[in-house]
Structure 1
Amino acid sequence: MIATTFALCLKEADVLSDNIYGVYMLAVAVTSSITSGYIWGIIGSFCGVVGVNFFFTFPYFALNFTLAGYPVTFAILLFMSIMSSALTAKVKKAAILSSIREKRSESLNTMSKELLSANTFDEIMQITLDNVYAANQCSVAVYIGSPLEPELVVSKYLSADDERIMESVLEKQVAQKAFLNGENTGVGTNDTVQNCLGTYVPFAKKDKTYGVLGLLFKEASYVETDALKFANLMATQTIIAMDRQEIFEESQKILLEKEKEKMRSNLLRAISHDLRTPLTCILGSSATLLENKSLLQEDISDQLLKDIHHDAEWLIQMVENLLSVTRISGEGAQVKKQEEVVEEIVAEAVTKIQKRFSKAEIRVRVPDELLLVPMDAMLIEQVLINLMENAIRHSRSDKAVYLTVKRLWNNVYFSVLDQGIGIEPERLPHIFDGTTTSKSSDSSRGLGIGLPICKSIITAHGGEIYAKNNESGGANFTFVLPMKGEDENG
């Protein structure tokens, strides 16, 4: 209609009367460029021939293809129009394919970069899902393990119908076939299954299949074929990322086992060191009392009994520490955390330490705000008691010991500070390892086993612990525990 109106205007203006069919050929080209496929361009070609015959050839306003020369002329015109339409459609198709390939190449590049920073199998699966979906604009499902009984499934669907199709028994059986055979299965592959609508690409290498990538295409056939090639490339990138993650996790397990073995050795060495001194003192004091009871003055006997009591208390504390180790170092053991009020935990630890060291001065500073921290209350109390006891026993000072709590962002800092002799500089780097470098056996007693246990407990809570000497004198032991807000934010 538009082409005919335009052509009539040109004829009235006597501008293009001899080559009026060019207007229709232009109209055919425009029609082919703004529509998909070939049908509308061919229909436009026939309409153009009819329009030229009806409006612009004798007899006017009548259809007549029988006059001399007309059949050949109109046949050539129809052929040229159809060729123009086909060429335009082909160019358009090539442009669409080029755009799609460019977009998919960008998605593949983006996916490769994102996979490099992935730290878990869940992240790898999510990155694969997002990029395959973005590149192909089709419904996608990613399975880890057997599709019939997957360990993990992530999916994105274009519609509820697509979800229903891919969740059907037939589609999952086809996906399972791809998983077992390690080959592409379904639509667009060499292994098609009757009534199957999806395409399934396994995450497979020679000796292992990790899972399956499922796709449900809605585009034209040439897009499906091209998309399948890119799906295979993306699957290859995913397999590389999975291999890397598997190697990383295995190396972490080896490092963890090595660290556990180191901890066991250090604890055994520390226990041997710490047990020897108090047991020797108890044995010596009790032997003196038994053998020379009638010869000893009362004040000397009382002092020997106090020494026995003191060392027995220390042995009890050591047993408490060892029990704490068994709670966090067993195979598969995990710290059971629940939100606790920090002020209550601190108060309980201070109360217990003051029962044992009635003359010690403990000064506590806690924030006015209510601090709730996920923790195992008994274990954190044990850490605070160990640190305060070390400060009282080994600082060689009668000055006050400070227990300070403060919040910084999503972490809570616990610090135990004394005003004594501090820590020998050469011991600081290894003070939590359970090794003893001091020449004085008694000076390090209690630091051997207590501090490695403190470190194990804090590490099991996802925190950190460190020690340093204060500029004004004395030692400062600080440990950090994450609050719930940090867990939620990743």
Structure 2
Amino acid sequence: MGASAARELHGSEFSEREWAEAAEQGNAFFDIAKTLGILAAVTLVSLMFDALGFSEVTIVVTYVLGVLLTAIATPKRIYCFLSSAVSVLAFNFFFTTPRYSFQAWGKEYPGTFAVMFVVAFVASWLTMQLREQARCAAVASRRTQVLLDCDQLLQACRTSDEIVNVMCRQLIKLLGYDVTWLCAAGKGLAKPKTLRLSGAVDTTPLGSSEQSCAQWVFEHNKCSGATTSTSSEASCLYLTVRASDVIFGVVGIHVGHENINSDERSIVLSIIGETALALERDRALAEREAAAVLAKNEQLRANLLRSISHDLRTPLTAISGNADILLSEDVSIEKADRRRLLADIYDDAQWLTNLVENLLAATKLENGTVRLNLTCEAVDDMIEEALRHVSREARSHQIQVVPTDDILLVRADGHLVVQVIVNLINNAITHTPAGSHIVIAADRNGDFVRVSIRDDGPGIPDAEKERVFESFYTINHGQADSHRSMGLGLFLCRSIVEAHGGTIYVTDSHPHGCVFVFTLPAEEIPRDDAK
């Protein structure tokens, strides 16, 4: 793709190479036409000045001005030389005696012609020097701007892919060539990704020679390819993107057989260096995040072991003690006391069963191995089923179910939702004194069905409301060591509800107590049933 096509695609943005081409290349016919046009215009103005009686000095200065305009309008010094020579000839032909001939009778004219030519040529040469300096300043400014833009864009990147895209785009903006990226993959390179001048992304594989050249660069950590002494027949210049001893990949610049000058190479290496640092920073951040996750998992494992050691020991000790009393032949036990001991053993065994079920369910949800068996379920039926499995301590509380006006259906896994309701009711029973009221209600809320469990216990402080759904967390001491609770019940409730696409939260109940609310996607009543 040529420079003109690239300008079409990028609007007013020029690569550094295009700036150089604009200064060095041009259409000779148009440059000659501009030179002759300026001379013709200057000659007409000078003829007008002569008719008005202006001196020859004014006319000479006018021709020098024409040469300066030629220096500004054309890219090469040859046109300035041509303009200076033709200006002297035109002055001699139109304004010296005899007129309209190239003869000059005055002795001073040869000196005048020589001075006029030298002044015009030197002035035009200085003008072109100033223009070249301005062009170099513009190129240097663009280099600085490209580097600043690259640094700012890299700082805003959040992934390695974004970092690589920024590098490729800046190289394209700087050089005006397509750029190919080959990411490191073990001891080799992944499939190439080429970013075109047009902005398109091409994933076409490289040729075998190009791929071999890129692989050699990756293995030897040296540049190779076009414009180098190694694999110079390649169409790309390949360089490694490396930080410390880590090579992140190889970048290929499609320079063809054109050379990259030292200034361009310097800015390319700066962009690649900044990219390598950004990739190193991204890798270090990923490693820190992985370490944080590992530390969190270790903390969770420690909490789990501590909770299990406490929560299993307490009921097992009670079961063992009660069983020992029942088995003792030396102790006579009244029928009522025997029944109470058996009830205690049953309650502790039931608690251990619920504990194991919650542990297994939480583990499966965390690992993503639970597959929801979604069916159309009636909310009233699930509440009724949950009340059959709540703690035996529910007898000391007043549990009320608010009847619903309509049949509320949800799309859910009935077994898991029953477990949510059981956990929430048991949580209310555990954290409220005997005789407290627990109210279970359900209603339709837009596209969801909302279920609430309200109690009139001591409530939950505002600072604790968000944390109660964390694993191994309880209200009393921040750690699961009271009420024989591992802090898994509410965590499991949140996991199950969110797996269904619903939400769960806790609010205050007035005058005191709290309300746990969860939502599930509503299911419409089938038309046949409605009829």
How high is the TM-score relative to the length of structure 1?
0.69
Quote the residue 2:529 is aligned against: none
- Distance, in Å, in 1 between the alignment partners of 2:143 and 2:377 is 58
Q: In structure 2, which of residues 454, 471, 484 is the aligned counterpart of residue 445 of structure 1?
A: 484
Q: In structure 2, which of residues 390, 400, 413 is the aligned counterpart of residue 357 of structure 1?
A: 390
Question: How far has the Cα of 1:247 moved from its partner?
Answer: 1.9
**Does structure 1 residue 105 correspond to structure 2 residue 144?**
yes
Q: In structure 2, which of residues 243, 251, 260 is the aligned counterpart of residue 213 of structure 1?
A: 251
* Equivalent pair of 1:362/1:403 in contact (CA under 8 Å): no
Question: How far has the Cα of 1:277 moved from its partner?
Answer: 3.6
1:395 aligned counterpart, secondary structure: coil
* Equivalent pair of 2:172/2:197 in contact (CA under 8 Å): no
Instruction: Give the partner amino acid of 1:104.
Output: R
- Distance, in Å, in 2 between the alignment partners of 1:288 and 1:427 is 42
- Distance, in Å, in 2 between the alignment partners of 1:16 and 1:162 is 67
**Does structure 1 residue 266 correspond to structure 2 residue 303?**
yes
* Equivalent pair of 1:394/1:443 in contact (CA under 8 Å): no
Q: Deviations over 1:365-403 (max 9, x none)?
A: 9xxxx999xx99988886665344322443333321467
Distance 1:13 1:109, change over 3 A: closer
- Distance, in Å, in 2 between the alignment partners of 1:379 and 1:153 is 47
Q: In structure 1, which of residues 233, 243, 252 is the aligned counterpart of residue 280 of structure 2?
A: 243
Q: In structure 1, which of residues 12, 33, 36 is the aligned counterpart of residue 72 of structure 2?
A: 33
**Does structure 1 residue 204 correspond to structure 2 residue 242?**
yes
Q: Deviations over 1:97-139 (max 9, x none)?
A: 3223223323323432343343322232233334444455543
1:422 aligned counterpart, secondary structure: coil
Quote the residue 1:252 is aligned against: 289
* Equivalent pair of 1:400/1:419 in contact (CA under 8 Å): no
Larger radius of gyration: 2
- Distance, in Å, in 2 between the alignment partners of 1:480 and 1:161 is 45
Quote the residue 1:486 is aligned against: none
Q: In structure 1, which of residues 144, 153, 158 is the aligned counterpart of residue 197 of structure 2?
A: 158
Question: How far has the Cα of 1:264 moved from its partner?
Answer: 0.7
Quote the residue 1:485 is aligned against: none
Quote the residue 1:228 is aligned against: 265
1:473 aligned counterpart, secondary structure: coil
* Equivalent pair of 2:46/2:62 in contact (CA under 8 Å): no
Instruction: Give the partner amino acid of 2:49.
Output: A
- Distance, in Å, in 2 between the alignment partners of 1:120 and 1:107 is 21
- Distance, in Å, in 1 between the alignment partners of 2:369 and 2:79 is 70
- Distance, in Å, in 2 between the alignment partners of 1:480 and 1:151 is 46
- Distance, in Å, in 2 between the alignment partners of 1:230 and 1:207 is 22
Q: In structure 2, which of residues 42, 66, 78 is the aligned counterpart of residue 6 of structure 1?
A: 42
What's the C-alpha RMSD, in Å, of the aligned pairs?
5.6
Question: How far has the Cα of 1:236 moved from its partner?
Answer: 1.9
* Equivalent pair of 1:170/1:196 in contact (CA under 8 Å): yes
- Distance, in Å, in 2 between the alignment partners of 1:125 and 1:462 is 36
Where does the alignment leave 5 or more consecutive residues of structure 1 unmatched?
482-490
- Distance, in Å, in 1 between the alignment partners of 2:414 and 2:192 is 37
Question: How far has the Cα of 1:324 moved from its partner?
Answer: 2.9
- Distance, in Å, in 1 between the alignment partners of 2:259 and 2:76 is 12
Quote the residue 2:472 is aligned against: 434
- Distance, in Å, in 1 between the alignment partners of 2:390 and 2:510 is 27
* Equivalent pair of 1:434/1:449 in contact (CA under 8 Å): yes
- Distance, in Å, in 2 between the alignment partners of 1:450 and 1:262 is 19
Question: How far has the Cα of 1:191 moved from its partner?
Answer: 5.0
* Equivalent pair of 1:186/1:192 in contact (CA under 8 Å): yes
Distance 1:468 1:59, change over 3 A: same
Q: Percent identity?
A: 28
* Equivalent pair of 1:415/1:479 in contact (CA under 8 Å): yes
Question: How far has the Cα of 1:261 moved from its partner?
Answer: 1.0
Instruction: Give the partner amino acid of 1:244.
Output: R
* Equivalent pair of 2:377/2:414 in contact (CA under 8 Å): no
Quote the residue 1:420 is aligned against: 457
2:512 aligned counterpart, secondary structure: coil
Instruction: Give the partner amino acid of 1:420.
Output: G
Matching of residues 330-349 of structure 1 within 5 Å: 333=367
- Distance, in Å, in 2 between the alignment partners of 1:381 and 1:136 is 65
Matching of residues 162-181 of structure 1 within 5 Å: 167-181=206-220
Q: Alignment length, in residue pairs?
A: 464
* Equivalent pair of 1:11/1:17 in contact (CA under 8 Å): no
Matching of residues 53-202 of structure 1 within 5 Å: 83-145=122-184, 150-151=189-190, 155-159=194-198, 167-186=206-225, 191=229, 193-202=231-240
- Distance, in Å, in 2 between the alignment partners of 1:229 and 1:26 is 40
Q: In structure 2, which of residues 505, 508, 511 is the aligned counterpart of residue 472 of structure 1?
A: 511
Of the structure 1 ranges 224-233 and 417-426, higher mean CA displacement relative to structure 2 is found in 417-426
1:356 aligned counterpart, secondary structure: coil
Distance 1:355 1:425, change over 3 A: same
Matching of residues 367-386 of structure 1 within 5 Å: 385-386=422-423
* Equivalent pair of 1:277/1:442 in contact (CA under 8 Å): no
- Distance, in Å, in 2 between the alignment partners of 1:459 and 1:387 is 15
- Distance, in Å, in 1 between the alignment partners of 2:413 and 2:61 is 86
Quote the residue 2:427 is aligned against: 390
Quote the residue 1:279 is aligned against: 316
How high is the TM-score relative to the length of structure 2?
0.65
Question: How far has the Cα of 1:269 moved from its partner?
Answer: 1.7
Question: How far has the Cα of 1:11 moved from its partner?
Answer: 2.0
Question: How far has the Cα of 1:253 moved from its partner?
Answer: 1.7
Instruction: Give the partner amino acid of 2:44.
Output: L
Where does the alignment leave 5 or more consecutive residues of structure 2 unmatched?
1-36, 521-531
Quote the residue 2:361 is aligned against: 324
* Equivalent pair of 1:204/1:210 in contact (CA under 8 Å): yes
Distance 1:38 1:319, change over 3 A: farther
